[in-house]
Amino acid sequence: MGRRLDDARREELLNGVMGIISTRGFSDITIMELARELHCSGSSLYKIASSKDSLVVLAIARWSKLRLEEMEACAHRGATATERARHYWRAGAETIRPLSRAFRSDVDRFESARVAYRTSISEPFIDRFSELLDDAVEAGELAPMNTRFLAQVLRQMALVVRDERVLGACGITADQAMLEVDRMIWDGLRRPQDQRPVSSSV
């Protein structure tokens, strides 16, 4: 196997792998094809993972880590709790924008990739987004709600606004759809300034 790759080179290659499979999918590509496109040797990729499935899992995990860091940075730009939640959601929606239908289909088909995607990005996103929504509710900026359920719903909505079939049927672009959804969500959730907090007790 030769000398171990240093961390910087390993991360560079994983970023490259994700760049390829996020566009083309990964069901029909081999490690040697990935190596050719990345201008590296197959042995370099085998130093990272012993199989293509393992390499895909590691690439998804690496990509997810970077995207979650970016989402967190976006959230911190908000001056209020609601703005932080809104920025986080928008960043999350933008994160999935480059992911092709081929990639998403392959993630659904292959258990190892499906589990990696769920545990590396989907679940952490929902956990953090729920926390940010809780902060906004506790601050009195949003109406009381089941924030975890809402986080799940909004995550699915972010997928819908990038679906080419939905956009085509509606005759709008992805950016136009995002504006419509963004306005609908956050205007609908905002508590009117003159409305008293609703008790959560029944």
The whole-number average pLDDT for the span 156-177 is 82
Q: Tell which wins on pLDDT, 170 or 62.
A: 62
What pLDDT score was predicted for residue 109? 95
Of 108, 147, 144, residue with least CA distance to 25: 108
Q: Tell which wins on pLDDT, 94 or 76.
A: 76
- The answer as to whether 125 is a domain residue is yes
- The answer as to whether 44 is a domain residue is yes
- The answer as to whether 199 is a domain residue is no
- The answer as to whether 59 is a domain residue is yes
Whole-number Å distance between alpha carbons of 134 and 122? 18
Query: What CATH number is associated with residue 88?
Result: 1.10.357.10
Least confident of 10-14, 61-65, 184-188: 184-188
- The answer as to whether 195 is a domain residue is no
Domain residues for the domain of 51 are 7-189
What pLDDT score was predicted for residue 120? 96
Residue for token pair 């809402």 = 150
- The answer as to whether 200 is a domain residue is no
Which residues are bridge partners to 14 per DSSP? none
Q: Domain count for the chain, please give it.
A: 1
- The answer as to whether 161 is a domain residue is yes
What pLDDT score was predicted for residue 197? 45
- The answer as to whether 198 is a domain residue is no
Whole-number Å distance between alpha carbons of 75 and 128? 10
Angle at 21 between CA 20 and CA 23, to 5 degrees: 75
